[in-house]
Structure 1
Amino acid sequence: MDDFFAARSQMALSLGFHIIFACIGMVMPFFMAVSHYKWLKTGDEVYKHITKAWSKGVAIFFATGAVSGTVLSFELGLLWPRFMEHAGPIFGMPFSLEGTAFFIEAIALGFFLYGWDRFNRWFHWVTGVVVGVSGLVSGILVVAANAWMNSPGGFDYVNGEYLNIDPIKAMFNDAWFSQALHMSVAAFVATGFAVAGIHALMMLKGKNVAFHTRAFRIAAIFGAVAAVLQPISGDISAKDVAKRQPAKLAAMEAHFHTEEKAPLIIGGIPNEKTGEVDYALRIPRMLSFLAHGDFSAEVKGLDQVPVQDRPPVAVTHYAFQIMVGLGMAMVLIALLYFIALWKKRNWLRGRWLLKLFVIATPMGFIAVEAGWTVTEVGRQPWIINGIMRTADAVTPMPGIVYSFYIFTAVYISLSVIVAFLLYRQIKMVDKLYN
């Protein structure tokens, strides 16, 4: 493993680890706020117990997310110094604002955790809402910075120099809305299904059924609504990518040849040497429609991209297929759940529906990881799309491979510790509220 590959691998590992905690930190406080509101309005103590239990989980994820997020910010400077030298003054504003949102989130979380029976009950509830809103804003700001890497703006690039810098325009670049929308909805899907799946498992085991049934319903409704909305945000994002990054779209779809009435490829094994996709299912004209809203539109293929500028096709295509496949599976489960709520109430007592949610527990987060793989690998070989290559931004310092091994060990250790803490928390909840 050379230092360039080690630097990319370390960033991938750090982002892949952090994104789980970022999603939960963005979403879980809203679950908490709903449960808290239900307790305030109904006086049902079970909702109070749910709120307290979830708040302890949020605290664990917040602490771990804060550490991993801080590491990511340092890695940008340590591993990619030339990138930060030029890009820092341009897209630094969303990172600065994200820091402000993070501090607000931390303060509000402290108020919420230690405010039980100390604050006015509704003020206490508001502090929990602030945790959710500031966490969501924090995530959107970070995504805006990443979107700038995919759609650089807010400056003029003349003779290798970055001139006329406008940080506001850079932050609100052409990609920020579609990426922020898609990521935010994905966070609700992933967290909703994960939390619902855990509570569904406890219901199947017959443990503290009243507690887990109420918790399951809150998480399942959030996850199901978001899952149904996600294809809409995905369509917006795909059309935006087709317009701004046709090479990425071509890699996502393994679309090698520019053509009108382009078919949508499902599955398959792309062969970059021959420019063909073996064993794929093709839906005529559908890619043209999904990319441009016209069944006869031309879709640019990789044949219009210089070989040295093409992203890795296989990784991007497989990751995209995983993301879409898991997303559609969760849409199906969401629709079944809505049918159960609306027409088939007896389904809610069926073990088969709970088992579906248990199976879906990891699906959302796997889809999120696959989606970020599409975003980052599909942009290669550029760290700033069309302007700076990733290979030109990496640090010249040797020995990055050892740093990668050390960070891998650290993240594995953190994962084990977090899993243990969550397991202990679940066991404690069953003992306290059974």
Structure 2
Amino acid sequence: MEVVVEAFEPALLPSRIQMAFTLASHVLLVPLGVALPSLTLLMEGIGLARKDSVALKIARRWSVVMAVQFAVGAVTGTILSFEFGILWPRMMGRFGSAFGLGFAIEGWAFFLEAIFIGIYLYGWNRLRPRTHFLVGLVLPPAGLVGAFGVLASNAWMNTPAGVTIVEGKVTDVDVMAALFTRALGYEFWHFVIAIYLTAGFVVASVYAVAWLRGRRDHYQRLAFAVPFTVAAVLTPVQLLVGDLAARAMAEDQPPKFAAMEITWQTRD
């Protein structure tokens, strides 16, 4: 056994580095990929309710960015799915039956979102405005379900539950317990609020630059105000949720929390 461990030891650090790089690249796309559909629908709803052609114009432009983000995110997400099996084959082989369901849920949500993004984009000026808006309502829940699946798998790796291990092998899996582990609650809400907050500020920043350059017409004001309001409202909420998440992590995973705080030497 020692020989096998030593044989794989040189590959451990490169595998971690590659996984970290791919995750860091992918997560940059996630806020707009998941939250932008909600912002787009909010803007479209404002346009329909107020009969505001400018709001509808903004929503249509955002929908194009939404589709591009989804496509690029799909590429990096696919790479990640392969890396789990290639870089960590033993972990997936032993525990895949425990936390693999989360990835299956994410895959289902991905295809659902892909279908309705296509319909939503194609439906501009082809579907009745109300019908087009109703079609788009599928997108935010699909994105959140996909995020739930990924976070459920991640939460299981942080706080494993719902499995029976006999002689190092998983012999029984309680699906619900494996999905809804202790870490899922604070991970999910912290992440969801973070992506909406980040997307709101990123989108608003584009139009803030236009404001600084003197472009302050109705288009620029509305395109700035909606995402900025969403982000501003969520900011104090995230402070509270983040504090709860940090406290829970300090209790569940003290070494990880110490690493996050750059505390190399700890004491009881």
Shared fold (TM-score, shorter chain, > 0.5): yes
Letter in 2 for 1:193: F
Letter in 2 for 1:162: V
Give the aligned partner of residue 213 of structure 1. Answer: 221
Equivalent residues of 2:104, 2:149 under 8 A apart: no
Q: Paired residue for 2:193, among 182, 185, 192?
A: 185
Q: Deviations over 1:14-70 (max 9, x none)?
A: 111111222211100111011101111111111011001100100110000011101
What is the correspondence of 1:14-413 to structure 2 with a 5 Å cutoff? 14-207=22-215, 209-253=217-261, 272=264, 275=265, 302-303=266-267
Shift of residue 4, structure 1, vs aligned partner: 2.0
Equivalent residues of 1:154, 1:169 under 8 A apart: yes
Letter in 2 for 1:227: T
Letter in 1 for 2:132: H
Q: Deviations over 1:317-344 (max 9, x none)?
A: xxxxxxxxxxxxxxxxxxxxxxxxxxxx
The separation in 1 between residues aligned to 2:148 and 2:31, in whole angstroms, is: 11
Shift of residue 208, structure 1, vs aligned partner: 6.6
The separation in 2 between residues aligned to 1:35 and 1:78, in whole angstroms, is: 42
Equivalent residues of 1:155, 1:163 under 8 A apart: yes
Residue 25 of structure 2 corresponds to residue 5 of structure 1: no
Partner SS for 1:175 = helix
The separation in 1 between residues aligned to 2:96 and 2:166, in whole angstroms, is: 18
Equivalent residues of 1:35, 1:47 under 8 A apart: yes
The separation in 2 between residues aligned to 1:17 and 1:126, in whole angstroms, is: 32
Shift of residue 203, structure 1, vs aligned partner: 1.7
Structure (1 or 2) with the greater helix fraction: 2
Letter in 2 for 1:198: V
Identity between Structure 1 and Structure 2 (%): 37
Equivalent residues of 2:105, 2:145 under 8 A apart: no
The separation in 1 between residues aligned to 2:244 and 2:108, in whole angstroms, is: 29
Q: TM-score, normalised by structure 1?
A: 0.57
Larger radius of gyration: 1
Shift of residue 120, structure 1, vs aligned partner: 2.5
The separation in 2 between residues aligned to 1:76 and 1:209, in whole angstroms, is: 49
Shift of residue 156, structure 1, vs aligned partner: 1.9
Q: Deviations over 1:154-208 (max 9, x none)?
A: 1123332222212221111111111000001110111111111111001211347
Q: Which runs of 5+ in 1 are unaligned?
A: 255-269, 276-301, 305-434
The separation in 2 between residues aligned to 1:126 and 1:228, in whole angstroms, is: 31
What value does the CA root-mean-square deviation take over the aligned residues?
1.6
